[in-house]
Amino acid sequence: MKLVLALAFSWMSTVAVAAGGPTYPLESIQPDYDDKVSLQRGLATYSHYCMGCHSLEYQRYERTAMDLGIELDVMVQSIVPTDKKIGDLGSIAMPSKGAAEWFGAPPPDLTLVARKRSPDWVYTYLKTFYVDPSRPLGVNNKVFPKVGMPHVLEPLQGVQRTVCKEAPIRVNGSVQTDPISGQPLTENQCGILEVVDGTGQLTPAEYDQLIYDLVNFLEYVGEPSKAKSHDLGIYVLLFLMIFFVFAYLLKREYWKDVH
Ligand code: HEC
């Protein structure tokens, strides 16, 4: 039995490697639709740091304001660009052809990015920009190699670079431990991310929170009706339960004479 399991696992890991090669381990987050304050902070960060390049083509400002509990006039004053109305979609003025020439690739619309890539991917992406002088913009990214986007949040996070240092050995993302002492096994590794002290305005914990809020917001934008569909799901189940009772009674009524 153990052998069969071992074979099955080794086959599965071969398939996993064949599918994408060794990939950077993603950090896992739990988006929370009910945390309106987090969503509002995420929207603020988005409008400040991302909206200049990335549109939210499939979302109206008004919808965002209503779902996030923001007064419409506050939304108009602080978020909606002056040439836009509250009922407009979140498109932007940047010509995508020009943008493609400037960055090598046009900044994609972000309405559905959290669904396309997963919230974990977007979260890890925004945390793993690092200095790479060989790239045109001087930065590279761990989960998006050769990325064409500048590290726009660097003033907040600080300058992140890769170093060689003693670090825990990971196999498929999990830390390997010494079977006798239980201590993590380490070795000298290169490519480890490290923020240069004193170069960022935020502490690492504050930066993580900022990115969490931002990704939480992007996840909401990708499926704004999810909060509502949860409620609806409960009604549908209740309806089915009640309907079942009647259907059963009816069935008994019909078959009464047959038996
Ligand atoms: C100066 C313009 C610019 C700004 C500002 C900017 N980006 Fe980007 N972004 C880009 C470009 C260009 C790409 C495409 C990179 C590529 O394909 O190589 C991109 C790609 C991305 C991607 C990957 C999309 C995918 O699935 O391929 C994500 C996610 C993203 N940006 C998020 C953000 C967030 C969040 C912000 C705000 C904190 C932001 N960007 C600010 C230019 C920008």
The pLDDT tens digits for 16-68 are 444 444 688 899 999 998 899 999 999 999 999 999 899 999 999 999 999 99
Q: Is 147 in the pocket of ligand 1 (CB under 6 A)?
A: yes
Q: What is the pLDDT of residue 233?
A: 80
CA–CA distance, 83 with 257 (Å, rounded to integer)? 73
Q: What is the pLDDT of residue 5?
A: 57
Pair of tokens at residue 195:
């923020």
CA of 186 relative to ligand 1 center, distance in Å: 34
Query: Residues 252, 66: contact at Cβ < 8 Å?
Result: no
pLDDT for 99 beyond 90: no
Query: Most confidently modeled of 18-27, 221-230, 238-247?
Result: 238-247
Q: What is the pLDDT of residues 167-192, one digit of tens each?
A: 889 887 788 999 999 999 999 999 99
Pocket perturbation via mutation, ligand 1, pick of 53, 57, 149, 219 by most ligand atoms within 8 A of CB: 149
Q: Is 210 in the pocket of ligand 1 (CB under 6 A)?
A: no
Q: Is 117 in the pocket of ligand 1 (CB under 6 A)?
A: yes
Q: Is 52 in the pocket of ligand 1 (CB under 6 A)?
A: yes
Q: CA angle 72-30-182, nearest 5°?
A: 155
Residue 16 CB neighbour total at 10 angstroms:
13
Query: Residues 111, 211: contact at Cβ < 8 Å?
Result: no
Sorted by sequence, the CB contacts under 8 Å of residue 42 that are 6+ apart come out as 213, 214, 215, 216, 217, 218, 220
How crowded is the C-beta side of 4, counted as CA atoms within 13 Å? Answer: 1
Pocket perturbation via mutation, ligand 1, pick of 43, 54, 101, 126 by most ligand atoms within 8 A of CB: 54
The closest-lying atom of ligand 1 relative to the alpha carbon of residue 147 is 18
pLDDT for 114 beyond 60: yes
CA–CA distance, 220 with 33 (Å, rounded to integer)? 7
